[in-house]
Amino acid sequence: MIARVTRAVSTRPGHAFTRRSSLQTYDVATVTLKDVAERAGVDVSTASRALSPDKSSLVKATTRNRVVAAAQELGYRGNIQASALRRGRTGTVGVIVADLGNPFIGPVLRGIAGTLGNRDLLPIMTETRDLSSALSKVCDKLLAQRVDGIITTAGRYGDRGLLKRVAREVPLVLAVRDLPGSGIPAISHDDITGGRLAAEHLLGLGHTRLAQLEGPEDIWSFEGRAQGFREAVHAAGATCDDIRRSIRLPTIDAGRQLATELLDRGGQPPTAVFAHNDTMAIGAIATFRDRGIQVPDHISVVGYNDIPLTDQIQPPLTTIRLPGYELGRLAAELVLTHIDGARSATDRVVMAPELIVRRSTAAPRD
């Protein structure tokens, strides 16, 4: 009944044997197409055709049924590795994220995984912690795995050369973080407008001394936000204090650091702050609280992303919504069309930001 039993040993790969570890015994009794074919009384090629979704029409209904039945009875599961070797498709897509700890990434991953799953592809997940060295290694690994495509949310400007090279080998899609001028397909988000929305909201409330806590340099999303915010503030004749510092990841801790720097800078403190993402905003609020500065009474704070729970913190955070799930979904769809070799009319999608007003912003006191 089982391949392992009816077959000579010779150079058979290790996993095909019943293996014994401490307590566990694995019956990796690999049922192959050959076993199915034998049981159905046909040739492997016929069995292959019968079980292949798009070739099964080439085989007579009755024999097809025999084959399918045999496969069922034996519990046959195609060997994707072998199939991949033969066809040049592995059914996997590499997914590269900068920081798995960022709550923003959950919905994005769900969007990706769900969409890939509908097409029977599986995501291989990797994290770079926003280190270029890690990105390089990770790309190598994914390429060695012969993934059918790659989606990355971890591209910095400095990675442009690397990613362009990767894009020549395999369909590559940038998600969240664009790399303008690279020509690499991207599903991103209009960060400039997002920054502008944040500024206009604060200006509309009457603020004139603003500041922004900038995310890591070298990353398009943050540069766009900075630019949109700064320009809108200056256009209104208000002042904008840019707090930038070489932080690597835009975390709560980074938010605390930048907020501290802002306060320690001396001079008139601003009455409103734009943090380049929600976690940094939360860190900043915590620092303000520690220093006895009330939000929004003494200082207004705007975040970015609208991660889960931002509406539950105190005060609920005013922020710019970035639709993570949808973005992940679109990125996956885009990489799929490229994998299919189809033309895509929409190689660059820029999603619209939306201002979510909650309680962390208010008119200035004076």
Partner DNA sequence: TTGTATGCGTTATCAT
Partner DNA sequence: ATGATAACGCATACAA
Out of 48, 66, 171, 175, point to the residue binding a copy of itself (CB under 8 A): 171
Residue 134, phi then psi, degrees to nearest 5: -65, -40
Regarding 350 and contact with a copy of itself (CB under 8 A), the answer is no
Note whether 226 and 166 are within 8 A (CB): no
For tokens 């058979």, name the residue: 12
For the purposes of burial, counting CB atoms within 10 Å of the CB of 148, is it exposed (0-12), middle (13-18) or buried (19 or more)? buried
The H or E element spanning position 324 is: helix 324-339
How far apart CA 135 and CA 347 sit, in angstroms, is 23
> Two tokens at 283?
């860190």
Residue placing its CB nearer to DNA in the complex, 145 or 294: 145
Regarding 161 and contact with a copy of itself (CB under 8 A), the answer is no
Q: How many CB atoms lie within 10 A of CB 340?
A: 12
Half-sphere exposure of 260 (CA within 13 A, CB side): 11
How far apart CA 245 and CA 292 sit, in angstroms, is 24
Residue placing its CB nearer to a copy of itself in the complex, 89 or 244: 89
Residue 145 near which of DNA, a copy of itself, none (CB within 5-8 Å, type-dependent) = a copy of itself
Out of 44, 68, 84, 249, point to the residue binding a copy of itself (CB under 8 A): 84
Residue 60 near which of DNA, a copy of itself, none (CB within 5-8 Å, type-dependent) = DNA
Q: Would you give the DSSP letter of residue 56?
A: G
Regarding 68 and contact with DNA (CB under 7 A), the answer is no
Contacts to DNA from residues 82-111, by CB under 7 A: 82-83, 85-87
Regarding 120 and contact with DNA (CB under 7 A), the answer is no
Regarding 30 and contact with DNA (CB under 7 A), the answer is yes
Residue placing its CB nearer to DNA in the complex, 84 or 350: 84
Out of 6, 65, 79, 118, point to the residue binding DNA (CB under 7 A): 79
Residues that bind DNA (CB under 7 A): 3, 7, 10-13, 16, 30, 32-34, 41-46, 48-49, 51-52, 55, 58-60, 62-64, 76, 78-79, 82-83, 85-87
